Amino acid sequence: MPSHEAMEQAAAWFSLLQSGTATDADRERWQDWLAGTEDNRAAWAFVDRISQRFQPLQTHTSPRLAADALQAAKRRLARRRIILGTVVIAGAGGMLSWAVWQQPGTMDTLIAWGADYRTATGERREIHLADGTQVWLGSASAFNQEYDARLRRLRLYTGEILIQTAADNQHDAGGRPFIVDTAHGRLRALGTRFNVRLDDEGHTQLAVYEGAVQITPTAGIPGTTITAGQQARFTAEHLETPAPADPAREAWSRGILLAQDIPLGEVIAELSRYRHGHIAVAPDVAQLTVLVSYPLDDVDGALAMLQQTLPIQIRRPLPWWTSIEARTQ
Amino acid sequence: MLMVLINVLNSYMHSSDHQEEVAPAATPAMQSVHFLYSDHHNWLVGWLRFRLGDATDAADLAHDTFVRLIARPRCFDNSQEARAYLRTIANGLCIDLWRHREIERAWLETLATQPEAYAPSAEEQIAVLQALHEIDGMLHYLPPKAARAFILVMACGMTHQEVARELGVSSRMVGHYITRAMLHCMQLETRNLAQTDAIAP
């Protein structure tokens, strides 16, 4: 199977070549790309396979008629789905909760659209909750606030939040506990400043800067308490060994990208959270270590600076496509 | 048809007995499919008949549901959980069936609006319907505009500018839709291939 990277490039090439505005130079560059590696050719074979699926519409009928028939069918099905959707939700609470358990990521992404607080890609927000707790919400993030008589509970659906809890004045007997729930487990704050992040690999990552936070993974495995200066990643079934807390997980709230001896690949993954479009990093430069501190609001500026300090070159073959590779002399 | 399924089940159980040293987990899983079938098949047919309003369709889809379960056996803690799972699969199959019929209907309706002179042969009709089903399956999870743009480009050979005018978006957005749709289809294709390879002996 071709690599994901080659498939992404093949799809982008395909889009350019049949756009109606491709030049001879574009076609030559595509030929070079195709001749470049076996991986590229394998990826392009899939473009061919997909194109062939549409062949019968061109040879046996008027393609426009077939396209319109499909459109009409889709429209009717969409109406039907709205009606069905309500029936399914009303009739099968059990099934829905099963689906949530099965696919925490997907469900949470959908729910995030309707969350109480959320940010767009590239946006950061500072939020003051009624009890005095302060929350910084990172790029493309979403959480719900569910306070009741017993608990102060936040549910993080996607992205990253930094929390500075306040003592709860509403209750005399020591105040209500402060809880953050994610798809992977429950975090209970013990008077504190801490960061919670859902990473791309399907973990919850906790970093504690003041006080302590208790982790209880969903699957019922033994939890642990993370104290100030430590961080730990976990899933519902697995808790990783704590490590020293990364200052970058606090710096973002001040709008600063902080990378101290971090591989370039990880730095770019972080920057990608703050900008639309795709940034591809060639494997041979992904391991270069980076020491940088830069405003998160200016991703392109950060990329330009990386280009000055590292042996890399940055190209933009398509408007939404940024490619980082080794600099050729 | 039910006998066929039971035979399939038995042959699966039998073959996994022989391969016990290779895949020790297969035997209990297949046995559990067998029990699931006897415990829940009638209930599932009833549920599907209520859903579809047709006994033959219900029997067919109940059969297909268990075939899916054979392809990917799993164990459940209790019968409530098992039924929730079966219902999820069966529900997906109902929707597939509706999609299939809706596409067929839309295609026949479109043909009916054409002048008599335009009449594809029966073979051609089948080839077109087959292609439409495949395309619909590929584009199912894409946003409607991205799917529409992809079809117009792939089937009708329209340029990005033409598609942009029809959909009321920028040409640049059309380029974005096409890249995304193509990548989505390619990934689906690699996954399907990997699955076929995994199931084939």
Does residue A93 have a pLDDT over 50?
no
Residue B89 and residue B7 share a domain: yes
CATH code of the domain covering residue B177: 1.10.10.10
ipTM confidence score: 0.70
Amino acid of residue A308: Q
Are B41 and B59 spatial neighbours (Cβ–Cβ below 8 Å)? no
More confident residue, A191 or A186: A186
Hey, is A106 helix, strand or coil? helix
Which residues does A19 contact at the CB level (< 8 Å), separation at least 6? B159, B160, B171, B174, B175, B178
**How many CB atoms sit inside 10 A of residue A25's CB?**
8
The answer to whether residue B74 sits within a structural domain is yes
* Co-location of B81 and B157 in the same domain: no
Mean pLDDT of chain B: 78
- CA distances from residue A72 to A68, B53, B118, B148, B153 in whole angstroms, order as listed: 6, 24, 20, 11, 18
Residues B191, B145 share a domain: yes
Residue of A nearest to B127 (CA): A56
- B155 & B195 share domain: yes
Residue B147 lies in a domain: yes
Two tokens, residue B76: 């459940």
Nearest chain B Cα to A77, which residue? Answer: B99
For the stretch A303-325, pLDDT in tens is 888 888 888 988 876 666 788 88
- Cβ neighbours of B179 (radius 10 Å): 25
Asked whether residue B132 is domain-assigned, the answer is yes
A218 vs B114, higher pLDDT? A218
Degrees (nearest 5) of the Cα angle A79, A83, A87? 155
Are A57 and B128 an interchain contact pair (Cβ–Cβ within 8 Å)?
yes
Are A71 and B151 a contacting pair at CB < 8 A? yes
Rounded to an integer, the average pLDDT of A127-153 is 88
Answer yes or no: are the C-beta atoms of A315 and A327 closer than 8 Å. no
Shared-domain flag, residues B90 and B9: yes
Looking at the 3D structure of chain B, how many domains does it have?
Answer: 2
- Mark whether B88 and B21 lie in a shared domain: yes
Residues B191 and B137 in one domain: yes
* Residues B53 and B128 reside in one and the same domain: no
Q: What is the mean pLDDT of residues B169-173?
A: 92
Statement to judge: residues B149 and B85 lie in one domain: no
Whether B114 is covered by a domain: the verdict is no
Q: A90 falls in which pLDDT band (50, 70, 90)?
A: very low
Q: Is residue B108 part of a domain?
A: no
Query: Closest Cα to residue A118, out of A146, A140, A145, A136?
Result: A140
Contact A54 B154 (CB under 8 A): yes
State whether B178 and A76 contact (CB < 8 Å): no
Of A11, A61, A65, the CB nearest to B124: A61
Q: Give yes or no: residues B88 and B152 share one domain.
A: no
Q: How many CB atoms lie within 10 A of CB A175?
A: 16
| pLDDT tens-digit map of B75-98 | 788 888 888 888 888 988 888 888
Question: Which domain range does residue B149 map to?
Answer: 120-199
pLDDT at residue A206 above 90?
A: yes
Read off the CATH number of the domain in which B34 is found: 1.10.1740
Domain assignment present for B92: yes
* pLDDT tens digits, one per residue of A27-74: 889 999 999 999 999 999 999 889 888 888 877 777 888 888 888 888
B32 in a domain, yes or no?
A: yes
Mean pLDDT of the residues in chain A: 81
Does B110 fall in a domain?
no
B87 with B163, same domain: the answer is no
Contact between A133 and A140 under an 8 Å Cβ cutoff? The reply is no
B79 in the same domain as B127: no
